[in-house]
Amino acid sequence: MLAALLCAALCTLSQDPAVLLVRVLDVSDARMGGDAILVTDSAAGRARHVLIDASDRGRTVVARLAAFRVDTLALVILSHPHADHYGGLSAVLRRFPVRRFVYGGTPRTAVSYRALLHQIDSLRIPVVTADTGVRRLTLVTRRDTVELALLAPPRHCRTLAPAEGGDEVNNCSVGVRLTRGDFTMLFPGDAEQQELGWWMATAPGLLRADVLKAGHHGSDNSTSADVLDVVQPRAVIISANGRQHPFADVLALLDARGIPTYCTADAGTVTVRVPRGRQWTITTQRQGTCHARTTAH
């Protein structure tokens, strides 16, 4: 248990310390789209912030974080080394102090990725390599605890050929399961069926979640009937660039099951609000109904 992980980032309580906010940021103006998720343990003011991925457009993510009054990031988690997830991190690291960095340790030869790791080393940011088992990180508040369970990639990712790419790297994602009281949310990165199947076999209890941030931007190689049977989400959020994702068959599957679905390309930033002792809610930046960008795999 890395309970002391975020102690250095403790700040004064905000105006509404009873609220946890999870914002799936709208990065649809980015070249590839990608993911960028901001977790904040209170509604406003100086608070503890965790960033999961930073899309491939650093200026966009920096502007979003500044708008939400972020001054320090207690933790940055990189799901996997694809540029639409790590490309914006360099700008984020230049703008905001970061207390700790988490990644899966998957080797890659991409020049931009190696430069990012060098930047982290130069800034002397402590690194946690989530490459085995399940690690649990705890955000400590005065009355509440927010736990992040990190699901490591499969063992073969540690020895993946550095020049490997595509689906192999997707299937080396670090999964994150957030828990606050009775609320749970799952962030599987770009994990596809291979890795999701491995998690279902090794840590099935950690996949159950109230809200699912759909894997691989709403592609059908990630969201399937089997996955939904295990996760049993009551809502799904899709972070997509609006050019290629989400897939029509995924939206049809979610619609057939009556699962409310929110897409950043259509609704902008999607916010999950989790108050203490009350029902969680989802709001969107603008009105917009998810519609498919790809009709066939």
Q: Residue 125 pLDDT more than 50?
A: yes
Residue 85 and residue 169: Cα distance in Å, rounded?
Answer: 12
Q: Encoding tokens for residue 225? A: 């009937």
**CB 188, CB 197: distance < 8 Å:** no
- The pTM (predicted TM-score) of the whole model is 0.90
Residue-wise pLDDT tens digits, 69-90? 999 999 999 999 998 899 999 9
DSSP reduced 3-state for 62:
helix
Strands 183-187 and 211-213: parallel
* Among 238, 196, 193, residue whose Cα is nearest residue 217: 238
* Among 129, 70, 79, residue whose Cα is nearest residue 98: 70
**CB 282, CB 238: distance < 8 Å:** no
Q: To which residue do tokens 């904040």 refer?
A: 40
The domain defined by 7-284 folds into: Metallo-beta-lactamase; Chain A (3.60.15)
Residue-wise pLDDT tens digits, 153-171? 999 998 888 777 777 899 9
The type of residue at 103 is Y
Q: Encoding tokens for residue 228? A: 């939904």
pLDDT at 2: 41
Domain boundaries, the chain: 7-284
Which residue would you say has higher pLDDT here, 43 or 234? 234
Mean pLDDT of the chain: 86
60: left (phi over 0), alpha (psi -120 to 50) or beta: alpha
Beta bridge partners of 128: 102
Roughly how many angstroms between the first and final C-alpha of the chain, as a whole number? 41
Q: Residue 124 pLDDT more than 90?
A: yes
pLDDT at 33: 64
Strands 134-140 and 19-24: unpaired
**CB 170, CB 80: distance < 8 Å:** yes
DSSP reduced 3-state for 175:
strand
Residue-wise pLDDT tens digits, 2-43? 433 333 333 333 344 558 999 999 987 655 568 999 999 874
